[in-house]
Amino acid sequence: MKFFEPHESLKNFCETSRKYFFEGYQVIANEVNEWFGLSKLSPRDTILEFGGGEGFISIFLSKLTPAKFIYLDKNPYMAELARKNFEEAGIIDRVKIVVSEVEKAEFEKNSMDFIIARGTIQFTDYKKTLSNAVEWLKPGKVAFVGCGFGLNISDEYRAKVDEFIKKAEAKEVNTEPDKFEELIIEGYRHLMDNYFDDRLEYVKALNMKGFIFEIKKRLI
């Protein structure tokens, strides 16, 4: 896959993402397609990726499902980089690009057939982000958000992930680890206290070489 030159402000992020996350994006795309039947969606259905970065998860998913995509990121330089990637992948006509913070984004209630975000939610007002995800999901559909690298990763990639984690722990890479530990507890509590009885069928906390929330909205 071709990598475009990022804006100067994004060079460090993109270097890290391409080195440590790129393989994981493909693993996650394959896994969520298998688990949630995304290949069975139609061209009328919509997948939202927020905090989409260079758009790699959406690109990998686009090879597995005919659905259309909404790409959401607050950084206009990142959105422009993603646009180039979507054009290179030949899917630009299937993607709507929105530049906004996820907490402030406005989408119709019950409009998304799947929501995915990897490595983003800990940088947001996560309670508002989780509430938005619940509002935007169609009944019976799933949001899959967090900071995992995938479940069925190779031994070689697992070693690369371990290398990244060690660097993050040494403060070479800012992943907001304290915020993420808080999110695991308080985010789960927020969902259970506010939405579980009448809005959600279940909330799962998954360890996928990193933490992921799987949230399924209850059928009406």
Could you tell me what percentage of the chain is helix, strand and coil, using 3-state DSSP and rounding each to the nearest 5?
45, 20, 30
State residue 210's pLDDT score: 83
Whole-number average pLDDT of the chain: 93
Residue-number span of the structural domain to which 185 is assigned: 8-217
pTM of the model: 0.95
Higher-confidence position of 86 and 196 = 86
Residue 82: pLDDT band (50, 70, 90) is very high
Q: DSSP per residue over 133-157, as a string? A: HHHHEEEEEEEEEE----SS--HHH
Is the dihedral angle over the CA atoms 87, 5, 20, 213 positive or is it negative?
negative
In a domain, 3, yes or no: no
In a domain, 133, yes or no: yes
Q: What are the structure tokens assigned to 218, written together?
A: 């209850």
Write out pLDDT tens, residues 58-70.
999 999 999 999 9
State residue 197's pLDDT score: 85
Higher-confidence position of 168 and 53 = 53
Q: Which pairing describes strands 68-73 and 95-99: parallel, antiparallel, or unpaired?
A: parallel
Read off the pLDDT of each residue in 190-196 and give the average, rounded to a whole number: 94
In a domain, 163, yes or no: yes
What span, in angstroms and rounded, lies between the C-alpha atoms of 52 and 120?
Answer: 8
In a domain, 123, yes or no: yes
In a domain, 213, yes or no: yes
Q: DSSP assignment, residue 3?
A: -
Residue 59 belongs to domain with CATH number:
3.40.50.150
What span, in angstroms and rounded, lies between the C-alpha atoms of 167 and 69?
Answer: 33
Q: Residue 92 above 70 pLDDT?
A: yes
**Count of domains in the chain?**
1
Q: Residue 143 above 90 pLDDT?
A: yes
State residue 66's pLDDT score: 98
Edge to edge, what strands does the sheet with 46-50 contain? 95-99, 68-73, 46-50, 112-118, 137-146, 211-217, 200-207
Write out pLDDT tens, residues 171-187.
766 666 677 788 889 99
State residue 2's pLDDT score: 86
User: Cα dist. 33→67, 94, 107, 142 in Å?
Assistant: 12, 18, 23, 12
State residue 172's pLDDT score: 64
